[in-house]
Amino acid sequence: MKAIRSMVLVSSDVASLELGAKEIYQEFQREIQSFGLQDEISLTMVGDIGRHDAVPLVIVYPEAVIYGPVRKESVHTIVEEHLYKGRIAVGLQAPFRELSGRIAWLSARKGTLPAEQRIVLERAGLIDPDSIDEYIVHDGYTALAKTLTDYSPEEVFSILEKSGLRGRGGAGFPTGTKWRFVNKTKSDKKYVICNADESEPGTFKDRLILEGDPHSIIEAMAIAAFCVGADEGFLYIRGEYTLAQNRVKNAIKQAEDMGFLGENIFGTGFNLKLHVHAGAGAYICGEETALIESIEGKRGEPRARPPYPTTNGLWGKPTLVNNVETLANIAPILRNGADWYRSFGPATSPGTKVYTILGNVNITGLIEVPMGITLREVIAIYGKGMKNGKTFKLAQTGGSSGSIVPATLQDTPMDFDSFSKAGVALGSGALLICDEDTCVVDLAKVLLNFFRKESCGKCNPCRIGNQRAFEILSNISEGTGSLKDLTDLMNLSDNLYQLSNCGLGQTAGAPIRDILNHFRAEVEAHIRLKVCPTGVCPMSGKKI
Amino acid sequence: MAIEVKDTKAVLKAVQDAVSRFGATQDELIPILNDINREIGYLPGEALDEVSRLLRVPKSHLFSVASFYRMLSTKPRGKHVIQFCESAPCHVAGGREVFQAVKEALQIDENESTPDGNWTLTTTSCLGVCGVGPVMMIDDDIFGNVDPKQVPSILAKYK
């Protein structure tokens, strides 16, 4: 493993090149050599940093300091001060107001390393998950007490709305608004459900939260139930997660013994009964209406929406469904206030996000960082670089229903809005980092194989479309595809998006669309030249 | 096939135990079927008949549920069940080569059982331990960072 200490990026868009970006790059090479830093510093020309008036720009990671406009004469100072002595070269930083929105947020970090910021994983690994006492010592159940005694539901909704918390399941719906919807629906019976059917490939954040800090979810569910007016709740936990199921069952029992659950909680007349419901192995049950069907003892087939669960959910009653990670944010927000929460991440999607880093990086694992970090930072800082010094080619985000993000977008901040502007999706937080040896056809084939098997079969576009797309991709990977296949694939992808009933079908076509948008030449090589450029596909000449 | 088919008495007992543990209502159907499946290894026709009688739920509904979920099986399975993760994170980390090694070691293909009734090989979607891919699960044990060369020694533990 080659340990790179710092990364220097020199902008090389047209404007930067005109102003001598190439000479600045060469000057950096010379200066780094003369300080003997060539083994510790990586120097790269990056194409597209964004349109702005402070070019040529130089960004130094991991501190994310932006220098600009950089003159050839100032390179020596930057290398000596920043790279050699390790302090920011004062006076050479780019003025904040002249940076475009695309990278202005980087500068707003005040040149600090984006250290891990733990909110939802705050206690995981630090307390004994089987001990309610340890949870209470670490501020546990204070948010519930505060809610029940000091706040009205209306006040909780406005705190949550003000905090900007958005659902972490993938769709990013504002949490406070969803709670308000359920509260407003009149009914004699309401339910709260915690969606812990985490089956998105590459995602295991919910498991860690449930295994490491089960009481935080129970507390949040009690707050939610009080605010929306529910007196019964379910935690739908994936069948494979036996440890998490046992921890949660134990936590519920402890909370009941202490009077945080059950009848007349804190003497306020509020009652809540929580149940653990184990899944039986079906990806689609992570979709909220399929999950509700499954609790009712049926096949997990998503319902038609509307009506939404907020009005017609479990047994036809108004139901609040929240993801584990969303719930884990509730108590910290109520304890510390909306302004505290807004101080993390960008304004449009505040807070932190738990990411799982997987694939061809040196260190895989799980991090919780403010929203808006970039892929480049994730790979360089937390992944400790690409494995075997290979080149980063693409990242597959958010499990199977996310996007394939090409290396050209690695400087886009990862938050809901910036990603959707760039035409990619954040998904559930899995970051599968792939190097140059990854074949996009093979990757899409694996993803479509997943969808073809996990499709519940209720509606045709998904049941037939995914199977057909898998067959076409298989043919391409065997060297028996035709150019017409690419049109068919694109049509299938569009049809899946437009005609499917639920989110699974609607996103199933995304990998196809992404590889054709970003890696069309590589796909066409499989067809025109009968060659897999990375040597991964079998190319046997067999037709499926 | 030498796969053991459980006798009726054991099947009925497993069903009655499960129903009395969870209660005879339809919202407990999936936990009940899960429990029986765990006890017997699969869901034989007699078991579904008995569940249908006790819960007053049509057998067609039971079959539609039992055939939907991956953890439930309506066919007999081998003594040990291998679930091999075929999702993208494991695939990228070298899962394909490991799967090939498992198939060669057992001389069976996906969704098949060995003639001696010892092994059934299935593929599964993500098991949620992607940090250590490629991953496979044998019965309730998870094996991570599997190398194709380790496959024979892992399988040997289950003789």
Same domain, B114 and B89: yes
We report the CATH number of the domain holding residue A45 as: 3.40.30.10
Q: Torsion angle of alpha carbons A150, A155, A156, A159, nearest 10°?
A: -120
In a domain, B99, yes or no: yes
What local confidence, expressed as pLDDT, does residue A542 receive? 83
Its domain, for residue B15, covers 8-66
- Interface contact B124, partner A, CB < 8 A: yes
What local confidence, expressed as pLDDT, does residue A111 receive? 43
| Alpha carbons A38 and A58: distance in angstroms, whole number | 17
Higher-scoring residue by pLDDT: B116, A99: B116
> Which of A211, A273, A446, A534 should be substituted to probe chain B, the one whose Cβ sees the most B Cβ atoms within 10 Å?
A446
In a domain, A115, yes or no: no
Quick check: B34 and A239 CB within 8 A? yes
Strands A232-237 and B112-113, how do they pair? Answer: unpaired
Quick check: B88 and A443 CB within 8 A? yes
Same domain, A150 and A262: yes
- Interface contact A244, partner B, CB < 8 A: no
**Is residue B122 within 8 Å of residue B111, measured between CB atoms?**
yes
Which amino acid, one-letter code, is at B153?
S
Same domain, A208 and A331: yes
| B104 to chain A, closest Cα gap in Å | 18
| Alpha carbons A420 and B81: distance in angstroms, whole number | 42
> Which of A240, A367, A428 should be substituted to probe chain B, the one whose Cβ sees the most B Cβ atoms within 10 Å?
A240
In a domain, A121, yes or no: no
Quick check: A432 and B88 CB within 8 A? yes
Q: Torsion angle of alpha carbons B123, B125, B130, B132, nearest 10°?
A: -10
Quick check: B89 and A443 CB within 8 A? no
What local confidence, expressed as pLDDT, does residue A354 receive? 86
In a domain, A120, yes or no: no
Query: What is the rounded average pLDDT for all residues in chain B?
Result: 89
In a domain, A114, yes or no: no
- Interface contact B64, partner A, CB < 8 A: yes
In a domain, B71, yes or no: no
| B92 to chain A, closest Cα gap in Å | 6
DSSP state of A40: T
Predicted-assembly ipTM surpassing the 0.95 threshold: no
We report the CATH number of the domain holding residue A475 as: 1.20.1440.230
| B127 to chain A, closest Cα gap in Å | 7
User: Which H helix or E strand runs over A321?
Assistant: strand A319-323
Quick check: A280 and B64 CB within 8 A? no
Same domain, A302 and A155: yes
Chain A residues with CB inside 8 Å of B71's CB?
239-240, 280-281
Chain A residues with CB inside 8 Å of B124's CB?
281
What local confidence, expressed as pLDDT, does residue A102 receive? 54
Give the pLDDT of chain A (544 residues) as one tens digit per residue.
Answer: 456 678 788 887 777 888 888 899 999 999 999 988 888 888 877 765 655 677 788 888 777 788 888 888 899 999 998 888 888 888 888 876 666 555 555 665 544 445 567 888 888 777 788 889 889 988 899 999 999 999 999 999 999 999 999 888 767 789 999 999 999 999 999 999 999 998 888 888 888 899 889 999 999 999 999 999 999 999 999 988 888 999 999 999 999 999 999 999 999 999 999 999 998 888 899 899 999 999 999 999 999 988 999 999 999 999 999 999 999 999 999 999 999 999 887 787 788 888 888 999 888 888 888 888 889 888 888 888 888 888 999 999 877 778 899 998 888 888 878 888 888 887 778 899 999 999 999 999 999 999 999 999 999 999 999 999 999 999 999 999 999 999 999 999 999 999 999 888 888 999 999 999 999 999 999 999 999 999 999 998 888 7
Which amino acid, one-letter code, is at A150?
D
Chain A residues with CB inside 8 Å of B86's CB?
446, 449-450
Q: How far is CA A429 from CA A216, A353, A368, A374, A442, in A?
A: 20, 7, 10, 13, 22
Same domain, A98 and A142: no
Average pLDDT of the residues in B43-64? 93
We report the CATH number of the domain holding residue A154 as: 3.40.50.11540
What local confidence, expressed as pLDDT, does residue B2 receive? 44
In a domain, B28, yes or no: yes
| Alpha carbons A411 and A392: distance in angstroms, whole number | 13
Its domain, for residue A480, covers 440-529
Same domain, A150 and A206: yes
What local confidence, expressed as pLDDT, does residue A2 receive? 57
| A358 to chain B, closest Cα gap in Å | 6
Q: Torsion angle of alpha carbons A289, A293, A295, A299, nearest 10°?
A: -130
| Alpha carbons A217 and A233: distance in angstroms, whole number | 12
Chain A residues with CB inside 8 Å of B61's CB?
298
Same domain, A247 and A334: yes
Of A435, A464, A495, the last residue of a domain is A435
